[in-house]
Amino acid sequence: MATRPLTGSDIKIAIICEVPELYEALCVISERLPEVAVEDFPAADSIPFLYRCCRIGNHNVCLAGLTGVDKVFIGPSVSQLGSAFNNLRLIFLVGICGGVPYHDGQDILLGDVVIADNVIEYDDFELSEATRVFKPRDEHPISLINRLKTSAGRESVERSMIGTLVEIQYRTSDIFRSSAWAYPGTKQDRLFVPDYSHKHHGIVECGCDDQHICQKASVSNCEQIPCNELLTITRKRLLMKRMSEANENTVEAQAPKITIGSVCYTNNPPASGEGRDVICEKTGAIAFNYAAVPIWRSLPCLVVKGICDYSDGHGNVKWHHFAMATAASAVTALLDLVPNTFDSIEADRPLQNSSDPGHLMEKQPTEIGDSGYGTAPQPMSAEASSESHQRDTDSQTRAYAMSHEHPIPEEDIQSLASDKDDMHSQVSVVTTTEAMAGKALVGLMLVGDAQFRSLSEKAIVRMGRQRFVENLRRLLKLFYKNLLAEAKDEGRKATARLLRSRRGRLRISNRIADHLEQDDEEDEEVFRISQADANRVESWLSVASNRDERQNTESGDGGSSSGSDDGLSPNPEDKEHTNIATLRTIILESRSFRLLLTDLSTVFLPIEIRQVLASIPKKHILLLGKQKVSLADTVKIWIEDTTQIRWNWWPLDPPMRMLQPEESRILWKCTCGALQWRNISDEQREIATKILNLSEDKPKSPYWCVKRKPRPSIMAHIKTSIQWLSPSQAARRYTPSVGSPQSSTSPSSGSIVSSTMATSSGAATSQAHLGHHITVPNQPGQTGSLGPRTSSTSSYILLGVQGSRRTLMPGQVHVSDQSTDSSVFQDLKKLYKSRRGFLRLYFSIWRLEYCHVVKFYRLALDQMFHDYKDLPTDGSYIYEPRAGTAAAKNPPLTKHAFQAMYSACKLPCDRISLFHDCITPASGNKMIARIPKRTKCFEHDQTQDIWGFEAVFAVSLAYVIAYHLALVAGPFVFWGWWLGQNPRDWQTASVPVTVALGGLSLFWSSSGILTERKEA
């Protein structure tokens, strides 16, 4: 039985985007529908907008994007859109606009959304012409507006907007390789006093005065003019957002609000806050749209706008994409308010063969390179479904270049890293009625488990709804992969594939969150499933199981059509739904579900502890609930508290403080050989114990730290030394004799060596104040002193070191695309040694501990001083995670990570000492990615405010003991020898004792141990 193709009459909702970027944002979160048969519609190249038919949520939608053509031609074309889709009952006009800062006593901030209950047209800025007001005439926009005018209705939509906003941000970031859709931050949200115009101040040549603003000023932002920050207005809601940013809650900080009111369309935008306030006072408008098309004249629509400025001339393009994202998320949330019965979805459902009611009809993707689906009356098995999903995945991959899921930054102990594997589960796939009902059943089964519900309730309270939903979505992806690997028959595979769709996992996560937030009497409303849908799921599972039985019978594996090992009933009318009961058993009694509970528990663990449990062998991890403090630790702690400085206790271990009540400790042996520990709560210790019990003895994930090589035996060391001193016969064969000419037919490796040497010699002739040579591995087994490396991107790390001067001596390290953690830290080590000076490097008790990022004030090219500890927010500095995010830390590298990379050997290691402790550096560039690097060279730059690394020192116990022995041992040995030679000459023998006491006094007064204090 063939299915009727979709036509224009089947589409009852349209979304018209005023800018192409907004159209693209909605495209990435929608699922393309099959080619819709539209009659009397103009050709694609003859209309001034893009369009496609897609599915957003539970509704089929015509999505149109205007391309910036003249308004005169767009109006008639949009009318043709209404004629082609002649059953449109709800039309959204979406875009960005300028807003007023206040409405009904409430603050309106940039990124908020305005929904118009009427539209006001003004053609004259002086308001001399008559006003034309357009109000929604259709019952459906009016119904939505009335619902949004209630506090409960607005809050419900605002909560729903957050999830879609986050999805738009990281999907557009991944697809378009741009961070423009991210929240610009509260520092960019500036409201100036109304009488402060956006123009040049104090520059006579530009022509700006009280009546005129020059063209350059009208297109410049506040950083380029610049604007006077002292004339900004502080608002309560913005301060609350800044507190959220300070508390590292970026999701709450960017959460938009919805305001209902009038939108004013004018061709003459206000140039100042005073002009804006005049219009608002006369019209009551709360938003201004400057370059809009009066589509509502042809089609009655609901206007949804994201606010990108305050209509005062102080525009900021950084807010445009974020305002588009909030407007798109608002439309998606409004669609969720539209009932499922609003438009018929029967045409989108796969038809069921009358002879086999359990067979689903396969939906073939169209030939367009997109995620579109066509319909074909072809029965599909689970294998065919898998192949279809694979084609869908490949199609979307080609269309959007989605090479991996956008990484979610490690925000804090409540966030899980996203799994980048298994691209099949990252895309949105077609959702049938049976699949939607099956996913709802899966969510209901999960939340019905007592342990899962308990963990979820604690997680949603600690991390907030949105972050809980995102983390649960990632966990469901792992759950899907484990279920699929664990499945042994077709029924279990079909059950696992219910979680295949990324959008489906997100929908389940949101419904679980709704379920946890609802009252007990409202729980059933969240996962409401009709009897008809339950019957469809039962029939679908029955067919999948019977197909597996038939395949087993045909292959000779046994079994019969009258029975099933799983007890699945082939009868779709079975009232007891035995297949659904079996589905519950498959899910809740699987090992995959136990792993899901374990993974859900890890959200309560710090990120560092998660890494340890995932990458350190179990035998090297120890969990302690109680631990006594030794006498040595007590002394060390007393010394640290008394001196208030950092101490390097080598060769002793750092002190372990006494555990507090309800506090535990986890200890592990790092791959570098160092003993590491961290204090955790008793609850976290219990979680870690459960994880270790389920973990394998040998972890699959490698640890990030360096690896310490075992010391070679004496004979092996002698053999290596002989081989190093005596080149092999092959080496001598390819070593040219002195003075022999180089043949033109010599191997290419010879020309590489020659060019490398020439480059090295050329680079060695130039060195400026901040420049220094960088020793990098050119090929495996080679090193060369090269100048700045050429690559597509170059950046520089600034290092400030206390040398012989009172000011800090700056130096820079060049970083390129080819740089690795090992090469950069070798460069930092070399630079530090050159700036520190010989005496301080080898004889000072203050030893390098780590580096943190500070803001320096530059006095001269070779002089600067510490201003304050801070991470840069300037866009010219590259690093991740950036300042303002929850994962941003200063220092960006922990003390242990810095010391491990700093002490690692270069590649290859050329030290042949018998006592050399060789440490192999870790591969990759994860460490340097966290270090702020400026894209502009520091060498000849006169900028005073610069950011970079500053060396942090600690007092070495070994050096202090060595100096005391040197000051005391020598004089006392001389004192004993002198008394042995001259027993009666006590007076002369006391001179060395006096010298020793004077030396000790000088040491303690000049070393800084008693005068320095560590920085908080």
- Whole-number pLDDT of residue 258: 94
- Whole-number pLDDT of residue 795: 92
Distance CA 621, CA 895 (A): 20
Question: Averaged over 162-189, what is the pLDDT?
Answer: 82
Whether the predicted pLDDT of 257 surpasses 90: yes
Considering only 159-163, 740-744, 916-920, which range has the smallest mean pLDDT?
A: 740-744
808 closest CA partner among 828, 771, 836, 841: 836
Residue 805 gets the label, from left (phi > 0), alpha (psi -120 to 50) or beta, of beta
More confident residue, 962 or 608: 962
- Whole-number pLDDT of residue 585: 78
929 closest CA partner among 804, 793, 806: 793
Element (H, E) at 907: none
Three-state SS for 849-866 is EEEEEEEEEEEECCEEEE
Mean pLDDT (the chain, rounded): 72
User: C-alpha dihedral over 641, 645, 651, 652, to 10 degrees?
Assistant: 20
Rg (CA), the chain: 35
- Whole-number pLDDT of residue 729: 47
- Whole-number pLDDT of residue 307: 94
Whether the predicted pLDDT of 356 surpasses 50: no
In Å, how far from its chain's centre is CA 214?
A: 41
Q: How many CB atoms lie within 10 A of CB 941?
A: 15
Do residues 803 and 841 touch, judged by C-beta distance below 8 A? no
Residue matched to tokens 């035998």: 619
In this predicted model, what pLDDT tens digit does every residue of 433-442 receive, in sequence order? Answer: 666 777 777 8
Whether the predicted pLDDT of 100 surpasses 70: yes
Considering only 23-27, 405-409, 913-917, which range has the smallest mean pLDDT?
A: 405-409
Question: Of the segments 109-123, 292-306, 906-920, which one has the largest average pLDDT value?
Answer: 109-123
DSSP 739-762: TPPPPTTS-HHHHHHHHHHHHHHH
Considering only 182-191, 522-531, 743-752, 793-802, which range has the smallest mean pLDDT?
A: 743-752
Distance of CA 76 to CAs 70, 73, 90, 155, 479, Å?
A: 11, 6, 19, 37, 51
More confident residue, 368 or 523: 523
Considering only 345-359, 651-665, 715-729, which range has the smallest mean pLDDT?
A: 345-359
Distance CA 910, CA 648 (A): 28
Do residues 757 and 778 touch, judged by C-beta distance below 8 A? no
- Whole-number pLDDT of residue 143: 81
- Whole-number pLDDT of residue 855: 92
In this predicted model, what pLDDT tens digit does every residue of 648-694 receive, in sequence order? Answer: 888 888 888 888 888 889 988 887 778 888 888 888 888 888 888 87
Q: Any idea where the domains of the chain sit in the sequence?
A: 8-191+233-342, 356-597, 605-703, 767-958, 961-1006
- Whole-number pLDDT of residue 351: 31
687 closest CA partner among 623, 628, 627: 623
Distance of CA 719 to CAs 912, 919, 938, Å?
A: 11, 20, 47
- Whole-number pLDDT of residue 574: 42
* Helix 433-448 vs helix 531-554: crossing angle, to nearest 10: 100
Distance CA 812, CA 835 (A): 11
Question: Averaged over 306-322, what is the pLDDT?
Answer: 86
Considering only 97-111, 523-537, 540-554, 916-930, which range has the smallest mean pLDDT?
A: 540-554
Counted residue by residue, the chain has a size of 1016
- Whole-number pLDDT of residue 786: 36
- Whole-number pLDDT of residue 166: 85
- Whole-number pLDDT of residue 80: 67
| E-state strands within 658-712 | 663-669, 675-681, 707-708
Question: Averaged over 708-730, what is the pLDDT?
Answer: 55
Residue type, 786: L
Residue 471, phi then psi, degrees to nearest 5: -65, -40
Cis peptide before 992, with omega less than 30 degrees from 0?
no
List the structure tokens of 929: 């990615």
- Whole-number pLDDT of residue 986: 77
Percent of the chain with pLDDT over 70: 65
Whether the predicted pLDDT of 175 surpasses 80: no
- Whole-number pLDDT of residue 297: 66
| CA atoms in the 13 A half-sphere facing the CB of 764 | 9
8-191+233-342 homologous superfamily: Nucleoside phosphorylase domain (3.40.50.1580)
Question: Averaged over 205-228, what is the pLDDT?
Answer: 60
Distance CA 852, CA 856 (A): 12
Considering only 76-85, 186-195, 736-745, 869-878, which range has the smallest mean pLDDT?
A: 736-745
Question: Averaged over 881-905, what is the pLDDT?
Answer: 84
More confident residue, 789 or 881: 881
Whether the predicted pLDDT of 522 surpasses 90: no
Would you report the helix, strand and coil content of the chain in percent, each value rounded to 5?
45, 15, 40
In this predicted model, what pLDDT tens digit does every residue of 545-577 receive, in sequence order? Answer: 555 544 444 444 443 333 333 333 333 344 456
Question: Averaged over 353-367, what is the pLDDT?
Answer: 32
Question: Averaged over 215-220, what is the pLDDT?
Answer: 59
CA angle 17, 138, 158 (to 5 degrees): 55
Contacts of 52 (CB under 8 A, 6+ apart): 27, 32, 62, 63
- Whole-number pLDDT of residue 616: 86
Residue matched to tokens 């529908």: 33
List the structure tokens of 947: 């950011």
In this predicted model, what pLDDT tens digit does every residue of 783-794 receive, in sequence order? Answer: 333 344 444 578
**Helices H, strands E: what count in the chain?**
31, 29
Contacts of 48 (CB under 8 A, 6+ apart): 66, 67, 69, 70, 73, 74, 77
501 closest CA partner among 529, 482, 480, 483: 480
In this predicted model, what pLDDT tens digit does every residue of 260-309 receive, in sequence order? Answer: 998 888 777 777 788 888 888 888 889 988 655 567 666 778 899 999 99
Question: Of the segments 94-103, 169-178, 405-414, which one has the largest average pLDDT value?
Answer: 94-103
Task: Work out the pLDDT band at 752, boundaries 50, 70, 90.
Answer: very low
Distance CA 265, CA 114 (A): 13
Task: Work out the pLDDT band at 132, boundaries 50, 70, 90.
Answer: low
Contacts of 571 (CB under 8 A, 6+ apart): 542
pTM of the predicted protein model: 0.47
Distance CA 471, CA 458 (A): 13
Distance CA 607, CA 881 (A): 14
